[in-house]
Amino acid sequence: MANVIGSNITHDLVYEANADANQQLARVIEAKAQQVMLGGGKKSIERHKAKGKLTARERITRLVDAGSAFLEVGLFTAHGMYEAEGGCPSAGVVTGIGIIHDRECFIVANDATVKAGAWFPMTAKKNMRAQEIAIENRLPIIYLVDSAGVFLPMQDEIFPDKEHFGRQFRNNAVLSSMGVPQIAAIMGPCVAGGAYLPIMCDEAIIVNGTGSVFLAGPALVEAAIGEKAELETLGGATMHNTISGVVDYSVDSDDEALDLIRSHIDKFAPSKGRSNLFSRIEPRPPLYEEEEIYGIMPADRAKPYSTRQIIARLVDGSEFDEYKAGYGKTIICGYARVDGWAVGLVANNREITRSGKGEMQVGGVIYSDSSDKAARFILNCNQRGIPLVFLQDVTGFMVGTRAEQGGIIKDGAKLVNAVANSIVPKFTFILGNSYGAGNYAMCGKAFDPRLIYAWPTAQIAVMGGNQAAKTVLTIKVAALEKQGEVLTEEKQQELLKEVQAKYEATTKPLYAASRLWVDGIIEPTQTRAVISRGIAVASHQKALPELKTGVFQV
């Protein structure tokens, strides 16, 4: 019988202060999300709809099953970036996982209200993240194309490199070779190199009157070869449907295109392995209210709290079989179920503990014994085919003479190796701090989590703002002293505050989400749903690969 963890908590003044602070963070994120979802703004939306077209988000809502939830990936991509160019909300493309005829599909929809759907550097990165998720999970991918092509003033940052624009076409080919269905609907302009993306799909649909596809538009054709060509003759629906044969279907409206996509997906063969690749039983809610997480998480990120109380509000029945509970106490590992799915949880313990030797251990810090325990647990989950969920609130690995002599680098390397070579799906949630190599060891973006989301309370950086600012200040003061300038204590404090403010601005979850270090920012109460959806999506795999690990220093 599984062990029930957690307990009822008192809603005292500390709890209420924490809840107020953390819910305010969530409200700010939600307000920004609503603004981003407007794309190019109300006037741009009105102009777009005047052409008889649906917006990107309307297209997605129309495409997916009624009442189903759309799991958005990359909502805040490019947030605060490209301000000199007028901004590019959500990188001009809406992406995420939707359900079409009870089947998960990845959807990529250009938002033509944002710079006519032009491709910025982060647009390419976001599209490649979409394709990466489709490749990892064998998800059908649907492209709703409405784009003016590359944003030419920034072409040098999007065109030639390995992870630039062209990589998407390579991914089209890879997906096709894997037998992953791809369908494109050309619902607006589709220009230049971008024309290859829909035509490299299995099937392409074009909307008559609004859709067009060509390697060079009328203006470029005239400039290049002197020919004056009409848009419809050059790349309109009728020409491609009757003369070039480039497209497979021509329809008269967005609605018809979306109906046709749904009709195709309805006829796909059943997904292989979904029923039995990972263990699932009848779901049960936690014993305690998920909303209490807001009061458990301290408003001050330096303060300790009970990670087990968080887990008790995330797992079914608040039941948790903890692995090696008395050893390596700064990482909590164990088996549980989330929405019925079996999972292995790896969580940083934020309580101050004592090791088996009686030594005080700081919460959120990874020690040698906790590294060793977590590495072994991860391998156990791989042997048993149990998906892994990482709950990050980590300030890094322990440092100092005793830690180095105890082999912290060696033990940390074991954990990194186990995470890197894990074959089961991994899902990462950044609850609080995510600093330095702790980010890596707890399955940060570099270690290929299937999905990675941050809570509004997250902070992501190479080290904490206070430590980083003091380090930078020390370097600056030393450099100035070499030049013969001596700073007063007051001036040093001013400089420290300036450095710290600038540094901490880069640790916020919005900063991470804008650069796709995380797939998005969610409220704690959405965590169970994202885990469940992620494992359901991962179940599209036919089988797990063979487990192989690298060399462990022992």
- Please tell me the distance from the alpha carbon of residue 366 to that of residue 419, in angstroms, as a whole number: 15
CB of 500 within 8 A of CB of 534? Answer: no
CB of 328 within 8 A of CB of 13? Answer: no
DSSP state of 70: P
DSSP state of 302: T
Which of 147, 262, 169 is CA-nearest to residue 214?
Answer: 147
The token pair that represents 75 in the structure block: 């909502």
Q: pLDDT tens digits for 416-465?
A: 999 999 999 999 999 999 998 999 999 999 999 999 999 999 999 877 76
Q: Are strands 71-72 and 141-147 parallel, antiparallel or unpaired?
A: unpaired
Q: What's the length of the chain?
A: 554
- Please tell me the distance from the alpha carbon of residue 153 to that of residue 231, in angstroms, as a whole number: 24
- Please tell me the distance from the alpha carbon of residue 174 to that of residue 352, in angstroms, as a whole number: 48
- Please tell me the distance from the alpha carbon of residue 441 to that of residue 390, in angstroms, as a whole number: 10
- Please tell me the distance from the alpha carbon of residue 252 to that of residue 258, in angstroms, as a whole number: 11
Which of 520, 540, 547 is CA-nearest to residue 94?
Answer: 520
For 42-181, list the strands marked E by DSSP: 71-72, 93-100, 103-110, 141-147
Integer-rounded Cα Rg, in Å, for the chain is 26
CB of 202 within 8 A of CB of 183? Answer: yes
305 dihedral zone (left: phi>0; alpha: psi -120 to 50; beta): beta
- Please tell me the distance from the alpha carbon of residue 333 to that of residue 389, in angstroms, as a whole number: 10
- Please tell me the distance from the alpha carbon of residue 493 to that of residue 177, in angstroms, as a whole number: 59
What confidence score (pLDDT) does residue 238 get?
Answer: 92
Which of 53, 44, 148 is CA-nearest to residue 86?
Answer: 44
What confidence score (pLDDT) does residue 271 get?
Answer: 67
Other residues' Cβ atoms within 10 Å of the Cβ of residue 327: 12
Helices 56-63 + 254-266 axis angle, to 10:
40
Q: Compute φ and ψ for 188, nearest 5 degrees.
A: -170, -160
Which of 398, 384, 422 is CA-nearest to residue 348?
Answer: 398
Helices (H), 350-488: 368-384, 401-405, 408-420, 436-441, 465-482
β-bridge partners, 353:
361
The token pair that represents 272 in the structure block: 């292989």
The token pair that represents 87 in the structure block: 């901004």
Report CA torsion sign: 308, 309, 314, 319. positive
Per residue in 107-141, is it b (16+ CB within 10 Å) or e — as a string?
bbbbbbbbbbbbbbbbbbbbbbbbbebbbbbbbbb
Q: Compute φ and ψ for 270, nearest 5 degrees.
A: -55, 145
Q: Compute φ and ψ for 65, nearest 5 degrees.
A: -60, 135
What confidence score (pLDDT) does residue 274 get?
Answer: 52
Neighbouring residues of 321: CB distance < 8 A, sequence distance ≥ 6: 2, 3, 334, 335, 336
CB of 257 within 8 A of CB of 207? Answer: yes
For 53-165, list the strands marked E by DSSP: 71-72, 93-100, 103-110, 141-147
Neighbouring residues of 182: CB distance < 8 A, sequence distance ≥ 6: 140, 141, 142, 143, 172, 175, 176, 200, 201, 202
CB of 265 within 8 A of CB of 327? Answer: no
pTM summary value: 0.93
- Please tell me the distance from the alpha carbon of residue 523 to that of residue 519, in angstroms, as a whole number: 13
What confidence score (pLDDT) does residue 273 get?
Answer: 45
264 dihedral zone (left: phi>0; alpha: psi -120 to 50; beta): alpha
- Please tell me the distance from the alpha carbon of residue 336 to that of residue 318, in angstroms, as a whole number: 8
The Cα angle at residue 92 between residues 88 and 38, in degrees rounded to 5 = 80
| Residue whose pair of structure tokens reads 């647990």 in the numeric block | 377
Side chain identity, residue 56: A
- Please tell me the distance from the alpha carbon of residue 410 to that of residue 111, in angstroms, as a whole number: 48
CB of 250 within 8 A of CB of 226? Answer: no
pLDDT in tens, the chain (554 residues): 569 999 999 999 999 999 999 999 999 999 999 999 999 999 999 999 999 999 999 999 999 999 999 999 999 999 999 999 999 999 999 999 999 999 999 999 999 999 999 889 999 999 999 999 999 999 999 999 999 888 877 888 878 888 888 898 899 999 999 999 999 999 999 887 678 889 999 999 999 999 999 888 888 888 889 889 888 889 999 999 999 999 999 999 999 999 999 999 999 987 654 557 899 999 999 999 999 999 999 999 889 999 999 999 999 999 999 999 999 999 999 999 999 999 999 999 999 888 878 788 888 999 999 999 999 999 999 999 999 999 999 999 998 898 898 889 999 999 999 999 999 999 999 999 999 899 999 999 999 999 999 999 999 987 776 776 777 777 877 777 788 877 788 887 887 788 778 878 889 999 999 999 999 999 999 999 999 999 999 998 888 888 888 777 66
